[in-house]
Structure 1
């Protein structure tokens, strides 16, 4: 059966930045839908600004200087989705129930963010868009009565300074059924999002989450070396390391009964080739991902966290592969090594100029060569 049930738009609709928020109504409604984005970082900020431009009534949660900047000057979006200043309501925690909530925090912050906002999320449709495979289950456990949808985003974005989100890759958002929801609910939310963002509904929830987990294998090496994703894939030795970690993850998933869903140009048949073909042939997958990213350097969310001194999501990315392997009595040594190296970089004392203590390519190769 084909996983994809709703066609994606190839681009996001554009509305001039001088249009007032809420000037367009949501489908089937006399007034604009109220959408809350919990965690207005890079992905959440891009989604919030695009939704505001499409006419929705948007509230975002944020912290610190980012919150203050949005409250004072609005949320400025630049890059691949076009330029727009979104005058959204920005708050530390929600103060009213939305029609739709979108959780876009880092995976390790999800439970706390949901608990802080739980009073306004009961009975609300909650779309979880974050890395890893455990987010929807966490949301279902923390928020009573929420209709939880699972989602992934292929948007590439970063926050260069407080109050600004720069979109480098205008990828689609995929919405799947989750705990307490069904495909009909996923389609309804997609119909809402498509006026602002490229989006589609997919039935194979676990498969889509695992495909995104394979794509997110590109995050560890930039965090370890300080290089962009494109630079790590261009290097022959680092590309071999990446292919090894991807092959390991795909094999663990297949042995766990996962059938990969279509996402970011990958599907089960392509990932089966990745796992079973000679390693040099399997290099087509990271090379394809780099091509799809384009020429604008993509640092990846894990490196962004290392540079800013925040805790990374590595335990929910490569660490999720290690846990899945343990659950079926297996090991994932390449993924386990990458988890360790990322933690060593993020926990190490910084250099005199304040930069993280990144590893050289030679140092990474010396650590991993015996596992390949």
Structure 2
């Protein structure tokens, strides 16, 4: 299959690399420094079970998406609309766009910009860009995909392709609930990891952190209930399990702040605060965490 990855950072490079390793034709649309390194040496994918240089295509021009049957849409949540606008003139009419992003509303926002089929995906992976053209995989990697049968390729076909490439994938009709479950995990960990500059395993052992995370989770679940969303599974247990399965991972928010980049906090704890205010649900702990990260962003310039 011909696949493009829009916003090939750590997440996009990992999944694009896995698909290219399985023999698919992959185009990464990334920043120029990554493109130059990939064109010279291939994409270095340092996974838990292998460390390989994978040959694939890369470009910094959104027009390189042309002809792709599947587009993995991996930009930061604040860039969803602008990236969609850049892609619109170049997308194949039957393309399927799969949003591999943090937050709960990216697919909905992208559908307002594009006529192509858009399906949301929930991403559970620990990755980082260790250097230009070098993605490091710290753990997990499974995907939950929203059903879609209106594009040239279906969600089921994409799931089977990903599974064959070594990516555990399921198609679920309850992606909204799964997106909220992932949002709650991000709200529990991302800001605290960013503020403390600690990986999950160290962070979770610090005094008082478990209680703060418990308060965050309780607020998020209350907002989800007010929104009419059923969050599946044992969320507190899932929060505890993150530190066990990704002990060395810094949150994406922490990685952004350490690089002096804007974070997605407005679409994580900030979204919970906004939705809570609209529904009359108090969210004081999420508000404090959101505010502290915004202060750190401002300090970084």
TM-superposed CA distance for 1:117, in Å, is 1.3
1:368 alignment counterpart: none
SS in 1 for 2:208: helix
Asked if 1:188 is matched to 2:157, the reply is yes
CA separation of 1:285 and 1:160: change in aligned 2, threshold 3 A: same
TM-superposed CA distance for 1:233, in Å, is 1.0
2:268 alignment counterpart: 317
Q: Deviations for 1:299-341, whole angstroms, at most 9, x for unmatched residues?
A: 1111000011111000011111112212212231111111110
d(CA) in 2 for partners of 1:323 and 1:81? 41
The TM-score with structure 2 as length reference comes to 0.92
The alignment's C-alpha RMSD in Å is 1.8
The residue correspondences of 1:69-148 to structure 2 (distance < 5 A) are 69-80=37-48, 82-92=50-60, 93-95=62-64, 96-121=66-91, 122-144=93-115, 146-148=116-118
1:22 alignment counterpart: none
1:221 alignment counterpart: 192
d(CA) in 2 for partners of 1:141 and 1:35? 22
d(CA) in 1 for partners of 2:22 and 2:254? 31
1:243 alignment counterpart: 214
Note if contact 2:72-2:98 (Cα within 8 Å) is conserved in structure 1: yes
CA separation of 1:188 and 1:155: change in aligned 2, threshold 3 A: same
| More deviation, 301-310/62-71 | 62-71
| More deviation, 248-257/304-313 | 248-257
Which of these residues, 213, 227, 245, is aligned with residue 292 of structure 1? 245
Unpaired runs of at least 5, structure 2: none
d(CA) in 2 for partners of 1:115 and 1:80? 36
SS in 1 for 2:137: strand
Note if contact 1:148-1:181 (Cα within 8 Å) is conserved in structure 2: no
Note if contact 1:219-1:229 (Cα within 8 Å) is conserved in structure 2: no
Runs of 4+ in 1 over 3 A off after TM superposition: none
TM-superposed CA distance for 1:120, in Å, is 2.4
Note if contact 1:37-1:44 (Cα within 8 Å) is conserved in structure 2: yes
Asked if 1:302 is matched to 2:270, the reply is no
Q: Deviations for 1:122-159, whole angstroms, at most 9, x for unmatched residues?
A: 43111011000111011101112x11111011111000
Which protein is bigger by CA-based radius of gyration? 1
2:144 alignment counterpart: 174
Asked if 1:335 is matched to 2:289, the reply is no
d(CA) in 2 for partners of 1:94 and 1:204? 33
d(CA) in 2 for partners of 1:201 and 1:120? 27
Q: Deviations for 1:252-274, whole angstroms, at most 9, x for unmatched residues?
A: 1012211124xxxxx1xx23xx4
SS in 1 for 2:164: coil
TM-superposed CA distance for 1:347, in Å, is 1.6
TM-superposed CA distance for 1:346, in Å, is 1.9
Which of these residues, 196, 205, 221, is aligned with residue 234 of structure 1? 205
| More deviation, 117-126/310-319 | 117-126
Aligned residues: 295
| More deviation, 74-83/153-162 | 74-83
Asked if 1:212 is matched to 2:185, the reply is no
d(CA) in 2 for partners of 1:289 and 1:328? 29
| More deviation, 93-102/314-323 | 93-102
Q: Deviations for 1:60-87, whole angstroms, at most 9, x for unmatched residues?
A: 1001312221122211100225222222
TM-superposed CA distance for 1:298, in Å, is 0.6
